[in-house]
Amino acid sequence: MTVRVAVAGASGYAGGELLRLLVAHPEVEIGALTAGGNAGSLLGQHHPNLLPLAERELVETTADQLRGHDVVFLALPHGHSAAIAAELGEQTVVIDCGADHRLDDPADWERWYGGEHPGTWPYGVPELPGARERLRGSNRVAVAGCFPTVSSLALVPAVASGLVDPEVVVTAVTGTSGAGRALKPHLLSAEVMGSASVYGVGGAHRHTPEMIQNLSAAAGQPVKVNFTPVLAPMARGILATCSAPLRKGTDAAAARKVYLDAYDGEPFVHVLPEGTWPQTSATLGANTVHLQVAVDADAGRMIVVGAEDNLTKGTAGGAVQCMNLAAGLPETTGLPTAGIAP
């Protein structure tokens, strides 16, 4: 089968990564490419790496341009997807790469994003409990945030099995592409190179409620999350170190078995061999999450380290994975598991 797709927000980082994957997807025909302020320019001006599409003109992001496609990816700023999606019929699969439809609780949306809650769609991390069934055949999908993707996959087996107390700490190092393509002084090369800095400290990052939502659903009880993001001098990638108080009677072997069982057969989540630790470079360009589990017996804590490419598995790859499920294609179609190195 051939799936005709459109990408809204094609000039941004997420839109470019979507197109990189879709160009190689054997069941996809790429239709309209839209943009906001960059409408009227050629795609190659923004993504010279996308040679097969370089001469394609970007058009205005309107419902009229997006209608008639089987699948529409919305790689738009937060708060812009809901209005466009509302104008597209039920026959179109709409995959929102923004935050508009991720949160279940309207109060959480109003607190973290402001305005009226635009509604909740099936959540786009297929590996989470029950998610794959909800995504299969769905015509609306909310792609997860990049931090919640790796952190949730790192912690869900622990909280779901009762290995740890429901109080977790996540410290995640990320590259600058997670902030999008808009010019920001603190993301200039002169500011970033040779330096690391924190931001969104003290429960101030918008991805925190998403992590709480995912982990609490898996645990069957409220889970507290303390999240600190760290900006590092690299373009892409996330390395998340996650820990929680270990319940008595659990050793490293038992903890590792929980993770091996939880992700047995999952094509994109890999528990690495003992003694091997995740690194962002190994996931570059791949739709994968690499995990390693450890127990700090002296501190009484379990530690899980996870790595992903924030633009691939953390955004665009996760979106294409969800498209495959929604469209009835094999889930792994068109998605790389081999990273780019060195």
Percentages (nearest 5) of helix, strand, coil residues in the chain: 30, 25, 45
DSSP state of 135: H
Q: Which of 97, 146, 242, 322 is catalytic?
A: 146
Question: What is the rounded average pLDDT of the residues 9-18?
Answer: 97
Q: In this structure, what are the phi and psi dihedrals at residue 208, rounded to the nearest 5 degrees? A: -60, -50
Residue-wise pLDDT tens digits, 283-340: 999 999 999 999 999 999 999 999 999 999 999 999 999 999 999 999 999 999 999 9
Query: What pLDDT, on the 0 to 100 scale, is given for residue 184?
Result: 72
Closest CA to 231 of 192, 188, 203, 204: 192
Q: What is the pTM of this model?
A: 0.95
pLDDT at 342: 85
Q: How far is CA 35 from the centre of its chain?
A: 21
Mean pLDDT across 203-219: 96
CA dihedral sign of residues 274, 286, 327, 65: positive
Query: Who's near 298: CB < 8 A, 6+ residues apart?
Result: none
Dist CA 245 CA 227 (whole Å): 15
Handedness of CA 124, 127, 131, 135 (dihedral sign): positive
Non-local CB neighbours of 13 within 8 Å, separated by 6+ positions = 177, 180, 181, 311
Confidence band for 208, pLDDT divided at 50, 70 and 90: very high
Contacts for 169 with CB less than 8 Å, ≥ 6 apart: 225, 226, 242, 243, 244
Is 146 marked active-site?
yes
Please state, for a pLDDT cut of 90, what percent of the chain lies above it. 89
